[in-house]
């Protein structure tokens, strides 16, 4: 895991001037693990500075959240003053929507994007009765619907070298949620402390994070006592490329924390890396465990996997029948794993070290 001393060193490196004409202020803050956000409580609310995950030493966005006054908003990444607690928001990712329900802020959700991927029962009931609106695709949201909802803010996922089009012109605060670019599971989960403060449930978020952290670290202690470290490969190719998680990603860190050896641990990228099949095969042909995610309606089998791409059968986990799959349409993987890494870690430990007998939430053996 990333420790406080490592974070402070990272923050010190981020003090250089950024391309926006401002810089990431690394001083102060209450966050212990997160490297992409500095959060500081103030008498009037709290301040948040978010680092640009794709450009070292640059600032993505700076916010001042205050209970004292409400100000007109214009999209300006260097400084925005926003009134809190927020009462009505549009949230564009299902993991954040579920987290809001868990924190007791479900009443603040006015709209969501891509509800077909949301499993949370509270949100689904409210979608059905019209309490929560469908705002379309997260990449191409329905602008008219968002304007009709008159939200206090829109929670968006930033991407490298892209803007938000018409959303930037609505006069509605855009909250750039870069948690998914953190490089350790606890760093990403800790962003719940930021999200909780937005809705006046900061104490709930702090308490939940302490529970998540304690459970995660206890599992890590158990995994550290194991003697065998199986070599682990992930996912399948998509078209001509095989997108692998970088060794600096949260999933790469979690495999290590669970007592496994990720085959691409030497690649320090924190996002996905497109590789050729030949490159992946050279590194992964002798892996011990293969973890897959299945998004189709039909259960995946070894026969189906081989019929999709015959060369899959050349990998050792295929031959040894040691492939594990998560059916993301059947279990709320994306909703739970982002802010409950301890649940995914327990799955990995149960797969890598069967003698530990941990219960599994997400993965099951691939059907024969």
Domains of the chain: 4-210 (3.40.50.1980), 226-365 (3.40.50.1980)
Q: Looking at the predicted structure, is the pLDDT value of residue 117 above 60? A: yes
Structure confidence at residue 28 as a pLDDT band (50, 70, 90): low
pLDDT at 321: 98
Q: Which helix (H) or strand (E) holds 28?
A: none
Does residue 147 surpass a pLDDT of 50? yes
134/58: higher pLDDT:
134
Separation of alpha carbons 278 and 358, rounded Å: 35
| pLDDT exceeds cutoff 80 at 309 | yes
pLDDT score at 368: 83
Mean pLDDT of 29-49: 94
Strand partners, 274: 243
H/E stretch holding 205:
helix 202-224
Strand order in the sheet with 59-66: 37-42, 45-51, 59-66, 80-83
Backbone angles phi, psi at 165, to 5 degrees: 55, -130
| C-alpha distance from residue 197 to each of 188, 189, 208, 276, 337 (Å) | 16, 14, 13, 43, 21
Q: Which residue has the tokens 């829109």?
A: 154
pTM above 0.85, yes or no: yes
CA distance 179 to 37: 9
- In this predicted structure, the answer to whether residue 21 has a pLDDT above a threshold of 50 is no
For 354-358, what is the mean pLDDT? 84
State residue 5's pLDDT score. Answer: 40
Would you state the pLDDT for residue 272? 87
pLDDT number for residue 160 = 81
pLDDT value at residue 70: 67
Identify whether the C-beta of residue 136 lies closer than 8 Å to the C-beta of residue 147.
Answer: no
The rounded distance, in Å, linking the Cα atoms of 335 and 97 is 8
Three-class SS state of 129: helix
**More reliable by pLDDT, 185 or 21:** 185
| pLDDT over threshold 50, residue 2 | no
pLDDT at position 6 = 41
64-68, 99-103, 145-149, 308-312: lowest mean pLDDT where? 64-68
13-17, 138-142, 266-270, 333-337 — which is least confidently predicted? 13-17
Side-by-side strand order, sheet with 323-327: 261-262, 231-234, 289-294, 323-327, 364-365
pLDDT of residue 74: 75
Task: Tell me which of 68-77, 80-89, 250-259 is least confident.
Answer: 68-77
Give the other-Cβ count within 10 Å of 321's Cβ.
10
Q: Residue 3 has what pLDDT?
A: 44
Neighbouring C-beta atoms of residue 158, cutoff 10 Å: 19
Which tens digit of pLDDT belongs to each residue from 41-68? 999 999 999 999 888 878 999 999 999 8
Per-residue confidence (pLDDT) for residue 25, from 0 to 100: 57
Report how far residue 243's alpha carbon sits from residue 281's, in angstroms, rounded to the nearest whole number: 13
């Amino acid at each position: 895991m990333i420790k406080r001393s490592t974070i402070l060193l990272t923050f010190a490196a981020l003090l250089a001037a950024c391309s926006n004409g401002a810089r990431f202020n690394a001083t102060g803050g209450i966050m212990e693990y997160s490297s992409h956000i500095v959060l500081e409580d103030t008498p009037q609310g709290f301040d948040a500075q978010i680092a640009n995950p794709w450009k070292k030493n640059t600032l993505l966005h700076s916010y001042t959240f205050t209970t004292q006054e409400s100000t007109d908003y214009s999209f300006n990444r260097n400084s925005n003053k926003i009134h809190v607690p927020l009462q009505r928001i549009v949230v564009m990712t299902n993991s954040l929507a579920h987290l809001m329900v868990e924190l007791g802020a479900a009443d603040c959700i006015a709209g969501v994007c891509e509800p077909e991927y949301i499993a949370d029962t509270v949100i689904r009931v409210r979608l059905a009765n019209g309490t929560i609106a469908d705002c379309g695709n997260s990449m191409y949201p329905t602008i008219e619907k968002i304007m009709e909802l008159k939200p206090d803010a829109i929670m968006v996922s930033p991407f490298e070298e892209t803007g938000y089009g018409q959303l930037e012109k609505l006069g509605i605060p855009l909250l750039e949620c870069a948690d998914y670019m953190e490089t350790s599971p606890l760093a990403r989960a800790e962003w719940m402390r930021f999200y909780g403060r937005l809705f006046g449930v900061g104490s709930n978020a702090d308490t939940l994070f302490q529970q998540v952290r304690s459970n995660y670290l206890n599992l890590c202690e158990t995994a550290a006592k194991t003697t065998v470290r199986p070599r682990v490969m992930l996912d399948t190719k998509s078209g001509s490329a095989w997108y692998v998680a970088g060794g600096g990603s949260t999933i790469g860190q979690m495999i290590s924390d669970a007592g496994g050896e990720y085959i691409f641990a030497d690649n320090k990228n924190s996002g996905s890396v497109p590789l050729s099949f030949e490159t992946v095969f050279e590194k992964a042909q002798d892996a011990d465990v293969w973890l897959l995610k299945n998004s189709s309606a039909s259960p995946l089998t070894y026969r189906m996997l081989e019929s999709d791409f015959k060369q899959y059968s050349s990998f050792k986990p295929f031959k040894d029948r040691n492939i594990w799959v998560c059916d993301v349409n059947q279990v709320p993987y994306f909703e739970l794993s982002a802010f409950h890494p301890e649940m995914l870690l327990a799955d990995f430990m149960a797969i890598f070290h069967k003698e530990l007998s941990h219960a599994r939430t997400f993965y099951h053996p691939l059907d024969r």
